[in-house]
Amino acid sequence: MEFLKNFKQVLGFEGTEEVEDIEEKILVEVDEELEEEGLSVPSSSNLKKDIYENTGDVSDYQTIFVSPNNFDECKKIANYINKEKIVTVNLEHLNNESAQRMLDFLSGAMEVKKARFITVSKKVYVSVPDGTRSYVEDENNEIFE
């Protein structure tokens, strides 16, 4: 996974077998726990593949609006974040548990790219890339740079 690779590079762990073994063990444990609870989860082998795939060419667009129907679509959204796009995510089609899982996953991708979430409503969020100026008109009238 690209964001884990970047994270390991920052910490100086890139290429160490010990870290890769721990990562594999964690992925297997998470898969087993989620399957026991009856939740669908991408297999560990799918997680090991490049996380940023099958998203089409979005290079001509600055802003992308996404309304995912299941957790598996978070890979596509993480790709948009990786490409430093402004991404509006509408989670109204997901149950609360899946929506929270998706927000947690995307928060990791955003942490790597130093992006931030702006909450529009209970189920609508905007990922804003680092260095993008934005103004939120609400009771705080926040300006982000």
For residues 63 and 42, state if they share a domain.
no
Instruction: Find the DSSP H helices in the chain.
Output: 2-11, 17-36, 44-48, 74-82, 96-113
Asked whether the predicted pLDDT for residue 2 surpasses 60, the reply is no
C-alpha dihedral sign at 133, 143, 90, 34: positive
More confident residue, 96 or 29: 96
Domain span including residue 3: 1-49
Distances in whole angstroms, Cα of residue 53 to Cα of each of 29, 31, 103: 24, 21, 19
Nearest to 109 by CA among 145, 76, 135, 82: 82
Digit-coded pLDDT (tens) for 65-86: 999 999 889 999 999 999 999 9
Task: Please check whether residues 137 and 84 belong to one and the same domain.
Answer: yes
Q: Is the pLDDT of residue 16 over 60?
A: no
pLDDT at site 12: 57
Find how far residue 92's CA is from the centre of its chain. Answer: 17
pLDDT at 10 over 60: no
User: Residue 22 pLDDT > 60, yes or no?
Assistant: yes
pLDDT for 135 equals: 80
Choose the final residue of a domain: 49, 66, 83.
49
Work out the pLDDT band at 49, boundaries 50, 70, 90. very low
Using the 3D structure, point to which of 13, 28, 49 is the last residue of a domain. 49
Mean residue pLDDT of the chain comes to: 76
pLDDT given at position 144: 58
